[in-house]
Structure 1
Amino acid sequence: MALIPFDPARFLDSEEVIAEYLTAALEDPDPDVFIAALGDVAKARGMTQIAQAAGLGRESLYKALMPGAKPRYETIRKLVDALGLKLSVAS
């Protein structure tokens, strides 16, 4: 029996699920976890459309979301805005 690789993007089908997924990713001290989660959400929403909405080339977006990438805050902010999300800080 062949195993199919797990793809979280297949399950990111509502705003609530996406918010919970990204919130959990932000709790991890490794920034790559949040960047990967943003990539999963962008994939679920359509990478080409998100890249256009963020004002980025599709290839640039893929590079920014690759494991080990160190995207600038400006890039993350554009992506978050393009996804229609809002980051907040709570104590």
Structure 2
Amino acid sequence: MTKTYIPVAPSQLAKELNTAFESADPHGICQAIGKAFEHFNIAEMAKRTGLQRQSIYRAFLNDQRLPHFSTVLSVLTAMGLQMRVVPKERQARS
């Protein structure tokens, strides 16, 4: 049986990942990236990134170690996304 992948709009994927990035929790961010893989064929992502499938699984799906930054950038690029740095919004004082 072949797994079917549900296409996701890049804007929706970016929204979900940005929510994780706002948490500033590295493990939460990796979990969110791992969840995003539900929309992609891992073998195809491995080809696009130049990483081995096992490395992708280890980095985002079933390991507590954090991936190298270059791995994160490669995967996000292969997903059709890019990272940007913006000033953090100041929270209103109570």
Q: Aligned partners of 1:60 and 1:43: how far apart in 2? A: 16
1:45 corresponding residue in structure 2? 40
1:24 corresponding residue in structure 2? 19
**Residue 59 (structure 2) aligned to one of 56, 64, 82:** 64
1:67 Cα offset (Å): 4.3
Gaps of 5+ in 2: 88-94
**Greater C-alpha radius of gyration:** 2
Map Cα deviations across residues 56-80 of structure 1 (whole Å, 9 max, x no partner). 1111110011341211111111111
Query: Any runs of at least 4 consecutive aligned residues in structure 1 with deviations exceeding 3 A, and if so which?
Result: none
Asked whether the equivalents of residues 10 and 80 of structure 2 are also in contact (C-alpha less than 8 Å), the reply is no
Q: Which amino acid aligns with 1:68?
A: Q
RMSD: 1.8
Map Cα deviations across residues 16-75 of structure 1 (whole Å, 9 max, x no partner). 210100100101131111111111222312222111111011111100113412111111
With normalisation by structure 2, the TM-score equals 0.76
With normalisation by structure 1, the TM-score equals 0.79
1:75 corresponding residue in structure 2? 71
